[in-house]
Amino acid sequence: MEYMKRRRVTKNGLEDDDPLNGVANLFDLGLVFIVGLLITLFSAYQLTDLFSEKSEMTLMKKNADGQWEILIKEGKEIKAMKITRSKSEGRGEKLGTAYRLENGAVVYVPEVEQ
């Protein structure tokens, strides 16, 4: 119960009777830590292009249900498309071939027009 005792006048003449005086700035310190952590994560995953107006990027993410989503950023515009397992029909043209390598990576080879 020593910490509960009221303190008397200190050197500069002020009373020091607030028990939370030492931890008052921990909230500010936590905010600084969180902002630093966010900046570090954006740099580590090279997501700083999200803030640039001239950059173009494509991200694929998988939600908790296992459904994939493609995020496409072109300038200021961001589009989100969900991937489904439903089959589509229609006319089109062959753009290239995809190969799965031994290590599991998929490589797309576009067809060369002559």
Structure confidence by residue, pLDDT tens digits, 68-89: 999 999 988 989 998 888 888 8
Question: Model-level pTM?
Answer: 0.44
CB 68 within 8 A of CB 55: no
pLDDT of the residue at 49:
78
Distance CA 105, CA 92 (A): 26
Q: What is the pLDDT of residues 14-57, one digit of tens each?
A: 555 676 766 767 888 999 999 999 999 988 887 777 788 888 88
